[in-house]
Amino acid sequence: MERQAFTPGIVLRDVTMNDLPIFFDQQLDPEANYMAAFTTKDPADKDAFMAHWTRILSDETSSIQTILFDGQVAGSVSKYIDEDEQPEVTYWIGKPYWSKGIATRALIAFLNHIKDRPLYARAAKDNIGSLRVLEKCGFLRIGEGKGFSHARGEEVEEFLLRLD
């Protein structure tokens, strides 16, 4: 059964196969990749992209929703189990939808349906927009880390955040 969440201008719904080409195009944007930092090695590899999405859509421990803004696919939001066996949230907003409050409203709607706590998130230290979204949604900075960023070709520092 498809679950939908609604907040003004925003609808969350189950991901459909028709969403994947839109997600693929959204993640090709160089500026978006730079901001996200921790992206795939080759965003233009459509086969790898489709294999990744097929794998995560079949993962029963994950919850993934398409974000619709005024009826258009604006991005996605999800919860998955990270490498430390912790529930982590992530989202991607297509660049045309940046700076409209969409990520914050979508994440709030998503968190209203995800009851796991604590929840974790991470963002590159210089990704001010994403950090603001997470903090507006109640996430607190709890630590720091670093990892190799394919999008930037170097190690990037990040903040680790938690929502209790």
Q: Where are the alpha helices (DSSP H) in the chain?
A: 20-26, 30-36, 46-57, 102-113, 128-136
Instruction: Please tell me the distance from the alpha carbon of residue 61 to that of residue 81, in angstroms, as a whole number.
Output: 7
Decide: 76 and 89 in contact? Cβ < 8 Å.
no
7 vs 143, more confident: 143
For 158, the token pair is 């990040």
- Domain assignment present for residue 107? The answer is yes
**What CATH number is attached to the domain comprising 82?**
3.40.630.30
- Across the range 139-162, mean pLDDT stands at 91
- Domain assignment present for residue 69? The answer is yes
- Mean pLDDT computed over every residue of the chain: 89
pLDDT in tens, 59-103: 888 899 999 999 999 999 999 988 888 999 999 999 999 999 999
Q: How many domains does the chain have?
A: 1
Check residue 2 and give its pLDDT. 44
81 is in which domain, residue-wise?
5-116
- Domain assignment present for residue 112? The answer is yes
- Domain assignment present for residue 164? The answer is no
Q: Residue 141 forms beta bridges with which residues? A: 161
- Domain assignment present for residue 124? The answer is no
- Domain assignment present for residue 34? The answer is yes
Decide: 93 and 132 in contact? Cβ < 8 Å.
no
- Domain assignment present for residue 22? The answer is yes
